[in-house]
Amino acid sequence: MLTRKFILKKTGQGMLHILFWCVVLLFFTYFFGVGSSNFNNTLIYSLFLMPITIALTYVSIYKLIPDYLITKRYYHFVLYSIYTLIISAYLVMVSIFFSLIYISNFEYSNMNPITRNILFVMTGIYLVTFIVSGFKLMKLNIIASNKTKTLKAKILEAQLKLKEQELKYLKMQIHPHFLFNTLNTMYGYALKKAEETPEMILKLSNLLDYLLYQVDKPLVSLQQEINHIEDYVSLEQMRFNDTLKVNIKKSLNVDDLEIAPMLFIPFVENSFKHGVIIDGILNITITIEAQSNFVVFSIKNSSTESSSSNEGLGLDNIKKRLELLYPDQYNLQIANRESEFTAVLRINTKSNIAND
């Protein structure tokens, strides 16, 4: 169905084409009238050249360029371009004969000086065709560039959504093992009506608040992350009783440092899950150092060379998250020695991280 907007658009385009060809006609009349005082004869000759010029131009911009050149069908483009040049040259020859017969009454000396030379005539026609074809190519390139940008934007949007879903999936896998163990411990304390039960419930409540709400933020303060770790350690100490010794060292020289949430807790989980009790004690040392442009987190736990401390699901997840959040802006070193497992993570906090 034809709409008013469509009709107005096509009418405007038609008027622009007519105006352009009127300008070309004036150009031909001036160009071919050099050395001649007979304006009418030059105008008639220019009018005769107009159908050749219009046909050649439209064939170029609506057929040769979009169907063959842009689609990289170069063989067909060259072949059909040669055919077009041959036909146009033939028509130019006809125009010269027309000038000789109709305008100059078979008197060669009466012809306009420029119209006597086929090269000048073809130069005028092809000049118009080349200029219009150049603008057509530029327009097509702009359209193609815009389509490419739009496609890239859609691909980027899809990648961001995929990354967001992957990050959410990775987060969901961090705490189930810990929550299951903690609930079992709380159940045991509740049966004994132990005084530590309310404190455990409070700390677990804080952890769940952090897990369910704070973790959706792209960044949290480093202090929040540390509080989360301390609550986690406190609950594990209640579960392990006298078989656990945890030492947390902090050196924070900046107050407003922010990081992605839950970056460090998988290392802590890994130490409790895969750490080895030696001489009746599981020893864990956590060190956190923060400066204005970086943060270093290190953790050590008693282990054996044959233990699988570096193969936990949590560490696999954190490696994937680091690649997504801090590409080329972090350094992670993991070592499993004879009696100690060590993980050291350094993050450049000055760089912008991806939205989590």
For 256, phi then psi, to 5°, come to -110, 25
201 with 130, same domain: the answer is no
If one compares 214 and 124, the residue with the highest pLDDT of the two is 124
Q: Is the pLDDT of residue 78 over 60?
A: yes
Among residues 133, 161, 189, the one where a domain terminates is: 161
Mean pLDDT of 173-184: 64
Distance CA 252, CA 117 (A): 87
CATH number of the domain that 322 lies in?
A: 3.30.565.10
Work out the average pLDDT over 75-91: 89
Tens-digit pLDDT profile for residues 33-55: 766 666 777 787 788 888 889 99
Q: In sequence order, what E strands does 209-321 have?
A: 220-221, 244-252, 258-259, 282-290, 294-302
Domain count, the chain: 2
Q: Provide the percentage of residues in the chain whose pLDDT is more than 70.
A: 79
Q: Inform me whether the pLDDT recorded for 298 exceeds 90.
A: yes
pLDDT of residue 356: 46
Say if residue 261 is in the same domain as residue 189.
yes
Q: What is the mean pLDDT of the chain?
A: 80
168 within some domain: no
Lowest mean pLDDT among 17-31, 75-89, 309-323: 309-323
**Residues 227, 112 share a domain:** no
As a whole number of Å, the CA-based R_g of the chain is 40
Residue 232's domain comprises 173-348
300 pLDDT band (50/70/90 cuts)? very high
- Contact, 341 vs 309, CB < 8 A? yes
* Residue where a domain stops, chosen among 128, 161, 194: 161
Note whether residue 7 is domain-resident: no
Do 203 and 112 share a domain, yes or no?
A: no
Cβ burial of 15 (10 Å; 0-12, 13-18, 19+) is exposed
- 3-state DSSP call for residue 331? strand
Q: Is the dihedral of CA 232, 236, 237, 239 positive or negative?
A: positive
Same domain? For 150 and 210 the reply is no
Mean pLDDT is lowest, of 23-37, 98-112, 183-197, for: 98-112
Same domain, 186 and 78: no
pLDDT for residue 351: 56
Looking at the predicted structure, is the pLDDT value of residue 344 above 90? Answer: yes
Tell me, what amino acid is at 168? K
Same domain, 54 and 191: no
Say if pTM beats, i.e. exceeds, 0.75: no
Q: Tell me the average pLDDT across 68-94.
A: 88
Tell whether 106 and 205 lie within a shared domain: no
Question: Which is it for the CA torsion 220, 222, 226, 227, positive or negative?
Answer: negative
Q: Indicate if 122 and 269 belong to the same structural domain.
A: no
Range of weakest confidence among 25-29, 61-65, 237-241, 249-253: 237-241
